[in-house]
Amino acid sequence: MKINTTVHSLDHARLVGTVLVLLLMGSAPRSADAQIRRDPNGVNVNSQGSTSVFITFGGLDNQVPVEATWCGELIPAAPAVGMKCDPSTLFGRLPIRFDQSSLRGSTFTDIMSIPPSVSRRAYQAAERGAASQFFYVRRFQSLVGGPDEYVFVTCRMAGGGARVPFALLDVQIAFETDAPVLAVSGGGTLPTFAAEIAYNGTGRLKGRWEVVRPSDDPPSSRDLLTEATLPPEERALQRRYSVIDRFNIFLPPTGKITLPGPRPELLPTEAYGLHQILLRIEASDDKEADSNLGNAGAGQGVVHSGGVAGFPMPILRYFVGSVGDAAAMAISGQLVLNEPEEGFSGWGQVDADPLAFSWSTAPGVLLYRLEIQTADNREVHAALLQQGIGQYRAPSFLASQASDGLQWRVLALGIDGRELAATSWRRLGPP
């Protein structure tokens, strides 16, 4: 669809003035107060969906990033430094869940993940006659009393094809079976699985499949990010596990691909317990996604960031053992105590609210058993709650039984009454 950029003479004059200011800012020497530089300073983005871009900010001087916004027009930020968003053209803010930024000294690595809602608002503004570009603005705050500094990146609306940075937008990994908890006997063979990947741009998808065995330390959230999402100094620090298979394929600018997993017989099934299959995406050379450190004042060289993503890769799990044991393992990971918190005291006072226990519920549970003991492990109360009930108000007589405090936990019981999972004991202070 062709974007209508026809505007009235007043709007046209304002647009020309804004463009001239931006051109002068890009060509004129920077003032002594403006220290922060960035690269890239302009990118093509998908006007019909998400876009993720690796951006390097350099030259920070006792400054920290505060917020990130998108808008249709810029205005002078005085008395702060730079150009900030015109509040009347604000399209959105960077969601916290998409913030994969990293600050190291005077260099700030940012992953600009544009949500579809922002792209839609920018496109609708262009249809109404606004310019077909919008801006991503990062605000930096001084830690030594200096003025705030605003640094912008120009986002040029385009399709999701070859001229847009190669980035992953969504990844789903699943076995061909619909079983909620996949279990396999020792030495058995798993069903096949694949990853459904949505992406922008075009380039080589490089990476490997790894498996986390029951005896391995689990991966952190940073370990699950694609390599291109991390700053260069962090990329070699990601924890590695047993490599099952590797891949290196070219992705045309079609936006979707099904990546088959390794042959099932390659997956280990000898050790009893929970296994995790990881999709590790390595950084590839993509001109549209490159970040030049020299241009950003952050060193020398070019950071290749093909395959960037604003979210961690999903984990595919399977359990070696019985189906019942697999279900118990899954439930134990979802059964969590909420309130009261560890060490909570004063709950038995006359003017205090009644003591109320709460916990998270999990599927596949028939009953929850709440157990309450004294500090010397003597049970003083217990209650059975049906599935779907995750809270219980304690009787008033507990205060007379617990001069030294209490401890409590919750057990999940299955259809046959067997214990599926149990939380650890949580201690409470005296009433």
Same domain (yes/no): 171, 313: yes
Same domain (yes/no): 150, 281: no
Distance CA 125, CA 423 (A): 52
Residue 3, domain member (yes or no): no
Nearest CA among 331, 335, 320, 322 for reference residue 414: 331
Q: Write the CA distances from 93 to 18, 30, 139, 313, 349, integer angstroms.
A: 22, 27, 12, 23, 45
Same domain (yes/no): 278, 362: no
Same domain (yes/no): 80, 200: no
How does pLDDT run across 128-139, given as a tens digit for each residue? Answer: 999 999 999 999
Beta bridge partners of 52: 113
Residue 1, domain member (yes or no): no
Q: Which of 158, 176, 202 is the C-terminal boundary of a domain?
A: 158
Q: What is the CA radius of gyration of the chain?
A: 27
Residue 186 CB neighbours (<10 A)? 10
Record the tokens describing residue 81, joined without a space. Answer: 């430094």
How does pLDDT run across 89-124, given as a tens digit for each residue? Answer: 999 998 877 889 999 999 999 999 999 999 999 999
Percent of the chain surpassing pLDDT 70: 87
Residue 355, domain member (yes or no): yes
Residue 177, domain member (yes or no): yes
What is the separation, in whole angstroms, between the first and last Cα of the chain?
68
Same domain (yes/no): 220, 335: no
Position 323 scores a pLDDT of: 60
How does pLDDT run across 323-332, given as a tens digit for each residue? Answer: 666 666 666 6
Distance CA 73, CA 86 (A): 6
| Least-confidence region, from 81-90, 118-127, 357-366, 421-430 | 357-366
Q: Quick check: 14 pLDDT over 90?
A: no
Same domain (yes/no): 404, 293: no
- Band of residue 308 on the pLDDT scale cut at 50, 70, 90: very high
How does pLDDT run across 387-407, given as a tens digit for each residue? Answer: 888 999 888 888 787 778 889
Same domain (yes/no): 275, 135: no
Nearest CA among 56, 33, 182, 160 for reference residue 111: 56
Same domain (yes/no): 46, 93: yes
Nearest CA among 130, 245, 120, 253 for reference residue 194: 245
Count of domains observed in the chain:
3
| Least-confidence region, from 3-7, 66-70, 379-383, 419-423 | 3-7
Percent of the chain surpassing pLDDT 90: 61
CATH of the domain at 406: 2.60.40.10
Beta bridge partners of 82: 150
Distance CA 318, CA 354 (A): 42
How does pLDDT run across 146-174, given as a tens digit for each residue? Answer: 999 999 999 999 988 889 999 999 999 99
> What domain range is 383 assigned to?
329-428
Same domain (yes/no): 135, 184: no
Distance CA 193, CA 175 (A): 4
Same domain (yes/no): 104, 217: no
pTM: 0.70
Q: Which of 109, 128, 158 is the C-terminal boundary of a domain?
A: 158
Record the tokens describing residue 218, joined without a space. Answer: 């689990």
Position 180 scores a pLDDT of: 56
Distance CA 349, CA 23 (A): 68
Same domain (yes/no): 44, 103: yes
Position 327 scores a pLDDT of: 63
- Band of residue 33 on the pLDDT scale cut at 50, 70, 90: very low
| Least-confidence region, from 177-181, 189-193, 263-267, 425-429 | 177-181
What residues contact residue 120 under an 8 Å CB cut-off, 6+ apart? none
Q: Quick check: 259 pLDDT over 70?
A: yes
Residue 20, domain member (yes or no): yes
Residue 356, domain member (yes or no): yes
Record the tokens describing residue 410, joined without a space. Answer: 């919750």
Position 292 scores a pLDDT of: 95
Q: Which of 272, 294, 321 is the C-terminal boundary of a domain?
A: 321
Residue 2, domain member (yes or no): no
Average pLDDT, integer, range 171-184? 82
Average pLDDT, integer, range 9-28? 42
Distance CA 332, CA 319 (A): 14
Same domain (yes/no): 250, 185: yes
Residue 4, domain member (yes or no): no
